[in-house]
Amino acid sequence: MTKSKSTAEESTEAEAPEGGTTEPVSEEKVSDGMDYEARVIEPVEEPEPSETDDAPVEIPEGHVLIRYVGPADAFDHKAYQFRGDKPVAVPSEVAEELLTYPFERFERV
Amino acid sequence: MATPNVQNIKIGQGEIWVGGTAPTAGSDPTDPTAGTPSDINAAADSSFSAPTSGGTYVGFTNGPANLLYRPTFYMVETEQAFAEVAVVPTGEEASLSFTAQEITYVNIKSAFGQATTRVVSGPPAFNAVYVGSKPVVSTAVVTLISRKTNLVGYFIATLYQGYSFNGATIGFERRAEVKLATELRCLADLTRPQGDQLFQIVDYPANPT
């Protein structure tokens, strides 16, 4: 704690230790006045995998994975919704329709 | 006496694609030519049907396609010299502006910018463009290919992150076709090296094989 030298210069801010000290510095140790304590950092447990949009797409029998690579943000074909580049499992006959769809672009994954 | 080359006089329109994937950036963050240099874009085939970066062809355009680049400098002036003695770049802007005549949902979205598109195969089939309060700015690769005057060689300009700066007006008129005036301004791509964050222009002296 230090005292302000002029009453006209009293600061309204919280007092903070200034650089240097009025106490003689020991030649044996130099301390910045802070207390440190050793901490053991526990290893972080990996979270259990949960069902998310990044989960692998399950492919039922007779289906193939198709990805929309056209310019639209979203493409809907019958009951199938293509959003971004997320692949969708569709029946083989539907895949043939999509792969030959005019003016849009699909690819097999 | 130096000999001018008439082959270097460029006349001809630009073909534009919106979308696709930008060429891979160089490995040196301070120099696009150092390390593994930045990839260059190219026409994918001899018919100039598309660039290797991909995208959707804009189609018919009207008027010039203007590629604008304008830097801003801070200039230090002194009493001892009439002109500035030092300059420091402090800003820059780049954009590609064109007028699309094919009114497709892709071109409408490119012109409006803050829009989301949806295609439904139907029945009934439709292409929808949703606009209003979209909080995210979507950017796209924008590519222009222009063949040289004698049809040997071409220029290709690739903007890495273009976004519609001014929106657009669609005019429905009995006496004239709809024209979509589009300006796609460059957003700096900070994943790319300094000096290669807005766009690239490549001069190919020969046609693709």
Note the pLDDT of residue B63.
Answer: 96
Q: Which of A85-99, B65-79, B124-138 has the lowest mean pLDDT?
A: A85-99
How far is CA B153 from each of CA B57, B66, B96, B205, rounded to the nearest angstrom? 20, 20, 21, 4
**Mean pLDDT value of segment B149-177:** 95
Amino acid at B187: L
pLDDT (tens digit per residue) in B78-113 = 999 999 999 999 999 999 999 999 999 999 999 999
Which chain A residues contact residue B19 at CB under 8 A?
A: 71
Whole-number Å distance between alpha carbons of B194 and B196: 5
**Mean pLDDT value of segment B160-187:** 95
Sign of CA dihedral B180, B185, B190, B194: positive
- Tokens matching residue B139: 């950017």
Note the pLDDT of residue A1.
Answer: 45
**Mean pLDDT value of segment B55-70:** 97
Whole-number Å distance between alpha carbons of B171 and B180: 8
Which chain A residues contact residue B105 at CB under 8 A?
A: 72
Question: Does residue B148 surpass a pLDDT of 90?
Answer: yes
Whole-number Å distance between alpha carbons of A98 and A109: 13
Average pLDDT across chain B, whole number: 96
Predicted TM-score of the model (pTM): 0.79
How far is CA B108 from each of CA A57, A72, A74, A83, B133, rounded to the nearest angstrom? 33, 11, 15, 20, 17
Those of residues 144-203 in B touching chain A at CB distance below 8 A are none
Strand partners, B199: B159
Most distant pair of Cα atoms in chain A: their distance? 89
Q: If you search the block for the tokens 């006045």, which residue do you land on?
A: A33
Note the pLDDT of residue A2.
Answer: 46
Up-side HSE of residue B117: CA atoms within 13 Å toward CB?
20
Higher pLDDT: B133 or A42? It is: B133
Whole-number Å distance between alpha carbons of B27 and B25: 7
Phi, psi of B146 (to 5 degrees): -135, 120
Answer yes or no: do A71 and B116 touch at CB < 8 A: no
Amino acid at A82: F
How is residue B8 annotated by DSSP? Answer: G
Chain A positions touching chain B (beta carbons under 8 Å): 70-78, 101, 104
Exposed, middle or buried by CB within 10 Å (0-12, 13-18, 19+), for A76?
Answer: middle
Note the pLDDT of residue A18.
Answer: 54
Whole-number Å distance between alpha carbons of B39 and B23: 5
Note the pLDDT of residue A87.
Answer: 92
Smallest Cβ–Cβ distance between B121 and the set A71, A73, A101 belongs to A101
How crowded is residue A101: how many other Cβ atoms within 10 Å of its Cβ?
16
Phi, psi of A95 (to 5 degrees): -60, -40
Residues in chain A, pLDDT under 70: 1-33, 39-40, 42-57
- Who's near B111: CB < 8 A, 6+ residues apart? B100, B164, B167, B168, B170, B180, B181, B182
Which chain B residues contact residue A106 at CB under 8 A?
A: none
Note the pLDDT of residue A103.
Answer: 75
Strand partners, A52: none
Smallest Cβ–Cβ distance between B106 and the set A71, A76, A101 belongs to A71
**Which of A75, A80, A90, A99 is the best residue to mutate to test the B interface, defined by the most B CB atoms within 10 Å of its own CB?**
A75
Note the pLDDT of residue A47.
Answer: 57
Question: Does residue B35 surpass a pLDDT of 50?
Answer: yes
Residues present in chain B in total? 209
Whole-angstrom Cα Rg for chain B:
20
Bridge-based pairing of strands B56-57 and B15-18 is antiparallel
